[in-house]
Structure 1
Amino acid sequence: MEIYDISYLSLVACFLLLVIPVFVSQYLKLGIIQDTVVSVSRMVVQLAFVGVFLTVLFDLNNSIVNLLWLLVMLIMATHTTISDVGLDLKKLLVPTIFSFIIGNFLVLLYFNMFVVNLENLFDARFLIPIFGMFLGNSLRGNIISISSFYDAIKRNENRYLYSLSLGAKKHEAILPYARKSLDLALKPSIANMSTIGIVALPGMMTGQIIAGSSPILAIKYQMAIMVGIYVSTVMTVAIGIFMTIRSSFDEYGILKQDVFKSTNA
């Protein structure tokens, strides 16, 4: 099957489509032109860098270098998670990194060993893209779960303290808030799986088909990836909440106020 390349001139033609949202923004006074330009520019620079960098990684295909790059991805994801939810980076850095490692890396190794059946589990062509998909989805889940969990505890502090005063142990008082946060974080992944294929064709499957893979092969990979993403997200958000609890609450079950950035200002 012939593979159709996209020339640089064709990319320019693609970017010309951005005239439409610019016109809509200008006509309706939405004020998104600057944000659009900045976002598109960052996307181009970042993807260009990643394209060159991944080409070098794939050609080198050194297991140690590949794992070091995964570590960089983990650190960046952890920093983004904690920063976006307004919590103290120093207190939650280690437990959040640990949750990403357990929830993503272990699922990735299982995936490469038993699903893709790779001889080299650290093959860059599979290791980095698949890990990126797992990490990106669990990152979103972690932001939702951790943010909603600590916001709920802080917003309902009196009710939470009242539960402790009635004799509830720390994990008993925390469990309703953790359960609600996990539910909020996992609903998008569940909804995404239930509508995939009929409502939407995901990017990975579409890319494989366009690149010449058979639809059946693309579907098998997509099903496997979706299961892996869901499992890694469940593990990451669950471990993320319960690991951060150890450094965020004192021995009496009281939430430490210095966990929040605003209290350190």
Structure 2
Amino acid sequence: MDISWLALALFMLILIIPIAINQLFNLKLGKDISIAVVRMIVQMLLVGVYLQYLFSLNNLWVNLTWLSVMVVVGASAIISKAKLPKRALFMPICAGLLLGLVPVLLVMMLWLFQPTPIYSAQYLIPTAGMLLGNCLSGNIIALQRLFDAFEQQQHQYQGALALGASPKQSAEPFARTALQQSFAPILASMTTTGLVSLPGMMTGQILGGIDPIIAVKYQIVILVAIFTTLTISVTASISLTLKKLLNHSGKLAFNTHVAYGS
């Protein structure tokens, strides 16, 4: 069942509720809410039109170019939201996203979905989008926690170096905590999926008339793929960031306080 443009426009009136809450509690988020909603609508409409074209074209190089754009934009978003130094960390984070995305995407396309052609945009682009989209928050949390630790627990790091630990060993507790905290949200989500929440993909398929068991199978695949991609991506990003941040003597290559500057 299609949703008419009028029905969609009327449904948007529900945004009165968060706007009212913003006013009631003086959250000062009115501008942020307006920008987020307008950008979301414009971007989604443009993506919808573009995907129609992309699906009909279904060209390997165009699809790969679009995937590259998704990775670059994703890396930029991570750096921007985490307030990290872009010049130093753009390549490590891009590499982390690619290392997480490519192996899982290949397994899904070559073995599980097996579309014809194998690079079918209808399968490749939405799947990559779901995997990358869920990697963003995990990377942001992990990198913020890592830089927080270097800023607030510098004495612990320096103490480990003074006792003879290598830079990698000295930073290991910070990396471990960052990874644990970045994995916590998705683990909590997976634990409650099916009981507390029904994921969007599964709900959309059921509303579209797909058998619930088939929808469940696809959702399980996506959740496992997201978790695997996230763990690889965040681990790679943290590891590559530490290599960029620490020199052989353990001295920081740049001031971690810069990461939280304006």
What TM-score do you get using the length of structure 1 for normalisation?
0.93
The aligned amino acid for 1:226 is L
**Structure 1 residue 6: Cα displacement:** 0.3
The farther-off stretch of 146-155 and 229-238 is 146-155
Q: Quote the Cα distance in structure 2 between the aligned partners of 1:167 and 1:131.
A: 43
Q: 2:198 aligns to what SS in structure 1?
A: coil
- Superposed displacement of residue 119, structure 1: 4.0
In structure 2, list runs of 5 or more residues that go unmatched: none
Match of 1:201 in 2: 198
Residue from 37, 44, 47 that aligns with 2:44: 47
Deviation string 1:160-192 (CA, Å, 9 cap, x unpaired) is 011011001122111111111000000111111
Q: Which residue of 2 aligns with 1:127?
A: 124
1:14-49 deviations in Å (ceiling 9; x for gaps): 112223333444455444444333322111111111
* 1:117 counterpart = 2:119: no
Residue aligning to 1:253: 250
What is the distance in 1 between the residues matched to 2:211 and 2:93? 39
The one-letter code of the counterpart of 1:108 is L
The alignment of Structure 1 onto Structure 2 pairs a total of residues equal to 262
When structure 1 is superposed on structure 2, of 110-119 and 248-257 the one drifting more is 110-119
* Counterpart residue number, 1:76: 73
Mapped to 1, the partners of 2:164 and 2:16 lie a distance apart of 62
Structure 1 Cα separation of the partners of residues 234 and 27 of structure 2: 35
Distance in 1 separating the partners of 2:29 and 2:97: 34
CA drift at 1:121: 2.8
Task: Note the residue ranges of structure 1 that are not aligned, 5 or more in a row.
Answer: none
How far did residue 94 of structure 1 move? 1.4
**Contact 1:92-1:244 at 8 Å conserved across structures:** yes
1:174 corresponds to which residue? 171
Aligned equivalent of 2:63 = 66
Other structure's SS at 2:55 match:
helix
Alpha-carbon distance change, 25 to 215 in structure 1, aligned in 2, over 3 angstroms: same
CA distance in 2, matches of 1:41, 1:264: 27
The whole-number CA distance in structure 1 between the counterparts of 2:22 and 2:167 is 50
Give the residue type in structure 1 aligned to 2:121: A
Q: Deviations over 1:28-84 (max 9, x none)?
A: 544444433332211111111111111111111111100100100100111111222
Deviation at 1:253, TM superposition (A): 1.5
Q: How does 1:90-101 map to 2 (within 5 A)?
A: 90-101=87-98
- Corresponding residue of 1:141: 138
Letter in 2 for 1:240: S
Secondary structure of residue in 2 paired with 1:257: coil
Aligned match of 2:220 = 223
CA distance 1:56–1:179, change in 2 (3 Å): same
User: Does 1:107 pair with 2:97?
Assistant: no
Say which of 142, 154, 173 aligns to 2:151: 154
Distance 1:34 1:91, change over 3 A: closer
Query: Aligned partners of 1:85 and 1:182: how far apart in 2?
Result: 15
Cα gap change, 1:31 to 1:154, in 2 (>3 Å): closer
1:15 corresponds to 2:4? no
Q: Structure 1 residues 139 and 26, CA, compared in 2 at 3 Å: closer, same or farther?
A: closer
Cα deviations by residue, 1:90-132 (Å, 9 ceiling, x for unpaired)? 1112111111111012111111222223343311011111101
Q: What is the CA deviation profile of residues 116-165 of structure 1, one whole-angstrom value per residue up to 9, with x for unaligned ones?
A: 23343311011111101110111111111111012102211111011011
